[in-house]
């Protein structure tokens, strides 16, 4: 019999397991800047959140979105928030054997004790890890089986913009920026508790749904046509809206989070402090879901950024600052910002990186500021498409000349290896478009050898399979099959290796097409795909984002089984390699991202004509729909302000560096 009181620490039961698992430190918590609050910090009406990042600790702990929400919630009186991550299979087996439930790393409380389990999905390949956590946590897998006292399971993050695939397992989804949304939900739960929790969890979910900003799949009925397409998604309760709006934080300076970034105990994927310098991107790359769903652009001011860097470094002791966004060199004051930070931290150990920089926005001044006294190890740019033609199709307005100019600046500033990222399987793509990548890489090497006068110049070509995503102009297109992707990439590899003058200077990295097909199934799926996710999970599917754990065969076998039992002629191809018509009801139509569906369709037609669309930051609005629909507008500088110099304590060589990526 379970004699625990809700909120009790599970650590006594957990401790003996730690010495039997790999990397036990990931389960112990207590990181610098982590928070543990009293279970009843708000008395009887305390609102308690368990926040999950559904991947291993080392990936989850530096995640900005989760870190921000953790701090925003814990800053409020009467609210407590703790973190939980996916446990590795060795720990899962022991927890099952010993009856230890899924726990938070902060105070080792059972996730089933909390009011809300909030799960932030960056990728669809994290869905099976949610099921493990629910099952270990003693929370019924299916939302319909949950009862009063079970947490409300809420999905968020970019991979929740099509929440229908997860409909069986989540109670709700919050679309868009989380800062204000989690406080709104917290306020609602607090009010419902104060009233004595009338109507139980159903009433609470109904109140959330009626706000218009929380999607509760259980209050929508989906009907289908005989051929498997969706006929209608309709609310089943009065007051529940037909479409749910995304949340947009307008003034980033008013939300300077994280103020106290977490410092991981165990090794993590990013050992640096990150400051988000702006949100959104209106470059209009047609394949890019992140750009489309985060419109419009909202910049943080240069002084706001300077303050966050200063306070964050003092709070953490990190020696590297990453200036984050979807395309960091597009900040209207990036030159002043990088110069200001380079000046301020000259003579200290503090390094600076721009993890996302476009080919056409990188210039010699930026290269110089980033390399001032520093390391010059790796630099990544993403032309995305191999030929000029395909770059017009995807609206990545980068010419070959831009690219050569950029790599010339980089090699000239001392970098030896430039990484180029491309996609394979883009709409209308032919073998010829992809083979152009080999030609481009050779020109890059030639340029590097010329400007540096050295022979040891390298270029690494890295290729990913294109997955069409919801809320983009490519949401209707047919995905390239895994076999065709592999065949095309084999031809490219042979073309690169064939030329002995360059072969050894060009590195070639690619993933096979199989994970992309599973990602495609989950991205553009509907609630019938839930049966596949569950089957894969029951067959042992875990950590699908990790190549050593991912099993394509497991997914295909599970899909065959689940779809064979359905009453419609649907299969994996139907969800992935099938082109949709304009009139088709899409599962994510229930989510209002602000983008006008007609505009997206027109943009798809423009893409077929190879017509480019400008960035509305610098040209007149081209009516994508977001600003009027969401009541938002573009927020950019320049502010004309400069960073005030600070007296920095500490000596040593400044390390301004690396990682420039688009």
CB atoms within 10 A of CB 389: 15
Binding residue (CB under 6 A) for ligand SF4 from 421, 552, 574, 622: 622
Distance CA 121, CA 57 (A): 14
Q: Kindly write out the interface string for residues 282-321 of this chain, putting x where it contacts ligand SF4 by CB under 6 A and - elsewhere.
A: x------------xx-------------------------
- Burial class of 581 by CB neighbour count within 10 A (0 to 12, 13 to 18, 19+): exposed
Nearest approach in angstroms of CB 596 to ligand SF4 is 9
Smallest separation (angstroms) from ligand SF4 to the CB of 595 = 8
Burial of 4 (0-12, 13-18, 19+ CB in 10 A): middle
Examine residue 361 and tell whether it contacts ligand SF4 (CB under 6 A): no
Question: Looking at beta carbons only, is 37 or 283 nearer to ligand SF4?
Answer: 283
Is 445 near ligand SF4 (CB under 6 A)? no
Decide if residue 471 touches ligand SF4 (CB under 6 A): no
Least CB distance from residue 341 to ligand SF4, whole Å? 29
Region binding ligand SF4 by CB under 6 A among candidate stretches 381-389, 462-470, 475-483, 623-631: 623-631
Closer residue to ligand SF4, CB minimum distance, 610 or 633: 633
Q: 18 near 103, Cβ under 8 Å?
A: no
Distance CA 22, CA 91 (A): 8
Closer Cβ to ligand SF4, 99 or 620, answer by number: 620
Per CB under 6 A, does 472 bind ligand SF4? no
Q: Which of 61, 624, 636, 662 binds ligand SF4 (CB under 6 A)?
A: 624
Closest CA to 159 of 265, 53, 282, 31: 53
Stretch that binds ligand SF4, among 26-34, 377-385, 446-454, 621-629 (CB under 6 A): 621-629
Torsion 448-450-451-456 (CA) sign: positive
Which of residues 93, 94, 315, 627 is near ligand SF4 by CB under 6 A? 627
Tell me if 619 contacts ligand SF4 by CB under 6 A: no
Residue 597 engages ligand SF4 in binding (rule: CB under 6 A)? no
Single out the residue of 341, 250, 259 nearest to residue 300, CA to CA.
Answer: 250
Q: Please choose, out of 202-210, 355-363, 626-634, 638-646, the segment that lies near ligand SF4 by the rule CB under 6 A.
A: 626-634
The DSSP bridge pattern shows strands 220-224 and 230-235 to be: antiparallel
Short-list 573, 634, 575, 579, CA closest to 601: 579
CB of 215 vs ligand SF4, minimal distance in Å: 23
Pick the closer one to ligand SF4 by CB: 546 or 618.
Answer: 618
404 binding ligand SF4? (CB under 6 A): no
User: Which of 616, 636, 643, 662 is close enough to bind ligand SF4 by CB under 6 A?
Assistant: 616
Stretch that binds ligand SF4, among 44-52, 245-253, 583-591, 619-627 (CB under 6 A): 619-627
Q: How far is the CA of 298 from the CAs of 69, 331, 406, 615, in angstroms?
A: 19, 10, 26, 14
- The partner residues of 155 in beta bridges, in order of sequence, read 119, 173
Q: Interface with ligand SF4 includes 421 (CB under 6 A)?
A: no
Least separation in angstroms between CB 299 and ligand SF4 = 14
Q: Are 509 and 496 in contact (CB under 8 A)?
A: no
Judged by CB under 6 A, the number of residues near ligand SF4 is: 11
Interface mask toward ligand SF4 for 255-284; x: CB under 6 A = ---------------------------x--
Helices 334-344 and 364-371 sit at what angle, rounded to 10 degrees? 20
In the numeric block, the tokens 């899962």 are attached to 92
How far apart CA 332 and CA 345 sit, in angstroms, is 22
d(CA 279, CA 246): 14
Q: At what angle do helices 400-412 and 431-452 cross, to 10 degrees?
A: 30
Segment contacting ligand SF4 by CB under 6 A, of 205-213, 344-352, 518-526, 622-630: 622-630
| 87 token code pair | 């446990």
Stretch that binds ligand SF4, among 18-26, 205-213, 375-383, 614-622 (CB under 6 A): 614-622
Nearer to ligand SF4 (CB atom), residue 245 or residue 505: 245
Length of the chain: 662
Under the criterion CB under 6 A, does residue 125 sit at the interface with ligand SF4?
Answer: no
DSSP state letters, 424-447: ES-TT--HHHHHHHHHHHHHHHHH
Closest distance of CB 624 from ligand SF4, Å = 3
Q: Write down the least CB distance from residue 261 to ligand SF4, Å.
A: 30
72 belongs to the binding site for ligand SF4 (CB under 6 A): no
Question: How far is CA 516 from each of CA 135, 513, 595, rounded to the nearest angstrom?
Answer: 27, 5, 25
* Residue closer to ligand SF4 (CB basis): 522 or 613: 613
Binding site for ligand SF4 (CB under 6 A): 282, 295-296, 616, 621-624, 626-627, 634
């Amino acid at each position: 019999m379970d004699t625990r009181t809700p909120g009790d620490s599970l650590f006594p039961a957990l401790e003996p397991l730690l010495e039997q698992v790999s990397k036990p430190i990931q389960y112990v918590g207590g990181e610098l800047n982590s928070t543990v609050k009293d279970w009843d910090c708000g008395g009887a009406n305390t609102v308690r959140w368990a926040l999950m990042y559904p991947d291993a600790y080392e990936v989850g702990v530096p995640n900005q979105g989760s870190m921000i929400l953790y701090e925003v919630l814990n800053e409020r009186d009467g609210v407590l928030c703790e973190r939980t991550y996916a446990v590795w299979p060795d720990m899962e087996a022991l927890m099952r054997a010993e009856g230890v439930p899924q726990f938070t790393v902060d105070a080792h409380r059972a996730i089933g004790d909390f009011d809300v389990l909030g799960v932030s999905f960056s990728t669809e390949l994290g869905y099976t890890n949610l099921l493990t956590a629910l099952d270990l946590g003693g929370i019924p897998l299916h939302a319909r089986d949950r009862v009063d006292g079970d947490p409300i399971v809420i999905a968020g993050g970019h991979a929740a913009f099509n929440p229908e695939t997860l409909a069986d397992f989540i109670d709700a989804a919050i679309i868009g920026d989380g800062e204000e949304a989690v406080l709104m939900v917290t306020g609602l739960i607090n009010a419902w508790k104060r009233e004595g929790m009338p109507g139980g969890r159903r009433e609470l979910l109904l109140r959330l749904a009626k706000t218009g900003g929380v999607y509760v799949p259980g209050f929508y009925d989906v009907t289908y046509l005989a051929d498997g397409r969706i006929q209608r998604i309709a609310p089943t309760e009065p007051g529940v809206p037909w479409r749910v709006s995304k949340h947009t934080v307008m003034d980033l300076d008013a939300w300077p989070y994280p103020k106290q970034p977490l410092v991981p105990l165990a090794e993590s994927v990013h050992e640096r402090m990150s400051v988000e310098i702006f949100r959104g991107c209106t470059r209009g790359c047609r394949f890019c879901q992140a750009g489309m769903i985060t419109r419009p652009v909202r910049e943080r001011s240069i002084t706001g950024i300077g303050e966050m860097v200063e306070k964050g470094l003092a709070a953490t002791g990190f020696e590297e600052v990453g200036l984050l966004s979807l395309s960091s060199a597009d900040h209207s004051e990036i030159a002043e910002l990088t110069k200001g930070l380079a000046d301020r931290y000259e003579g200290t150990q503090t390094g600076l990186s721009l993890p996302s920089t476009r080919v056409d926005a990188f210039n010699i001044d930026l290269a110089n500021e980033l390399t001032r006294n520093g390391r010059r190890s790796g630099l990544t740019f993403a032309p995305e498409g191999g030929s000029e033609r395909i770059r017009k199709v995807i609206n990545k307005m980068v010419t070959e000349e831009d690219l050569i100019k950029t790599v010339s600046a980089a090699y000239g500033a001392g970098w030896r290896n430039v990484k180029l990222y491309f996609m394979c399987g883009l709409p209308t793509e032919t073998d010829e478009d992809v083979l152009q990548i080999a030609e481009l890489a050779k020109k890059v090497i030639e340029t590097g050898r010329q400007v540096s006068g050295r022979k040891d110049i390298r270029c690494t070509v890295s290729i990913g399979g294109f997955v069409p995503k919801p809320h983009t102009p490519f949401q209707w297109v047919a995905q390239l099959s895994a076999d065709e992707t592999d065949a095309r990439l084999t031809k490219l590899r042979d073309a690169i290796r064939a030329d002995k003058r360059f072969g050894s200077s060009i590195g070639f990295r690619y993933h096979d097409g199989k994970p992309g097909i599973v990602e495609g199934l989950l991205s553009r799926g509907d609630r019938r795909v839930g049966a596949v996710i569950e089957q894969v999970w029951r067959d042992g599917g875990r950590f699908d984002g990790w190549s050593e754990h991912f099993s394509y065969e497991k997914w295909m076998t599970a899909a065959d089984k689940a779809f064979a039992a359905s009453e419609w002629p649907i299969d994996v191809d139907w969800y992935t390699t099938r082109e949709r018509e304009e009139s088709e009801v899409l599962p994510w139509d229930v989510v209002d991202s602000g983008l006008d569906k007609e505009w997206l369709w027109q943009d798809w037609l423009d893409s077929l004509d190879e017509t480019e669309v400008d960035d509305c930051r610098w040209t007149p609005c081209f009516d994508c729909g977001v600003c009027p629909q969401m009541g938002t507008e573009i927020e950019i500088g320049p502010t004309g302000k400069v960073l005030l110099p600070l007296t920095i304590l500490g000596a040593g060589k400044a390390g301004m560096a690396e990682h420039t990526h688009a």
